[in-house]
Structure 1
Amino acid sequence: MGKCLLIISATSGNNLILAKNLDSVCSKLKVERDLIILEEYDVPLYTPNQNENKVLPQLELI
C-alpha cells in the first residue's frame, strides 16, 4: 500500500480554496490524495457561514 496525502478543509472559505489548490498541485505531481471538506458532513461543527453577522445564542446572555 502506497502513501496517500489527506487534505482536510474545515470551512468553505479560504481553507477550501487553499485545499483545492493543494489538491490540484498534487494531481499534477501524480500524488495520491484525498480531499475531505468537513462542512459536507453532518457533524457538530461551527462555521462562520452558519452565523454570519449574528451573535451566538449563548453569547447573547453575556
Structure 2
Amino acid sequence: MSPGWSRTPNTLTGWAYRPDALGICLRHAWDVTGLPLLVTESGIATNDDTLYLKDVPST
C-alpha cells in the first residue's frame, strides 16, 4: 500500500478504487524499462463522476 491510501468503495465491476495505483504502476514500468509511457485513458466504472473528476487535474 502506498502512503495516504485508505479503504474506499469498490467500482461497479468490483475492483478496489485505487487512483494511486496508476502512478505506482507507471513509476515501476519506467524504472524497469526506461521507456516513455503514454496513458490515453484512465477511467473508473462508477455512476458517480465526482470520483473520477476529483482525480483528474483540470485543464
TM-score grouping bracket, smaller chain normalisation:
0.3 to 0.5
Larger radius of gyration: 1
Structure with the bigger percentage of helix: 1
Structure-2-length-normalised TM-score: 0.33
Tell which has more relative contact order, 1 or 2 (C-alpha 8 A, sep 6+): 1
Structure-1-length-normalised TM-score: 0.32
Structure with the bigger percentage of strand: 1
